[in-house]
């Protein structure tokens, strides 16, 4: 079934000029870019976006990282977009992500793992609404 999902290219990737390379991988894997924007995350957006992580020990580090630089948000579509993008980006821990995945190529660590991909259809809808108001 054709779906939409959200990809965020995180500050470590934008700082290293990997935006084009990551978007090229996404397009080569059958995704259509429906919407695209560059922005900076503030505290309120970080809190809303990562609401399920508020109060966890790693949250402050995550929020600080996501507010540290430019982010590129992309609404992507294709058949089974959520699952296919999660496969393409790889494990959240870049150090163990499968070779050839975006995180294995461009991630630095579990925290600075290059990209975010929605983990469910419901998350994609909520996240897209937050980023693309």
Point out the residues that are catalytic: 116
φ/ψ region of 68 (left if φ > 0, alpha if ψ in -120 to 50, else beta) reads: alpha
- Give per-residue burial for 16-55: e unless 16+ CB within 10 Å, then b: eebbeebbebbeeeebeeeeeeeeebeeebbeebbeeeee
Separation between Cα atoms, residue 63 and residue 41, nearest integer Å? 9
């Amino acid at each position: 079934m054709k779906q939409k999902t959200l990809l965020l290219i995180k500050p470590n990737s934008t700082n290293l000029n990997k935006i084009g390379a990551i978007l090229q991988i996404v397009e080569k894997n059958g995704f259509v870019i429906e919407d695209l924007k560059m922005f900076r995350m503030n505290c309120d957006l970080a809190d809303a976006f990562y609401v399920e992580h508020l109060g966890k020990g790693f949250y402050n580090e995550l929020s600080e990282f996501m507010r540290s630089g430019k982010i590129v948000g992309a609404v992507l579509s294709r058949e089974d977009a959520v699952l296919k993008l999660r496969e393409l980006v790889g494990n959240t821990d870049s150090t163990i992500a499968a070779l050839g995945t975006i995180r294995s190529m461009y991630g630095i660590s579990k925290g600075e793992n290059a990209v975010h991909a929605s983990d469910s259809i419901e998350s994609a809808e909520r996240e897209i609404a937050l980023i693309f108001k």
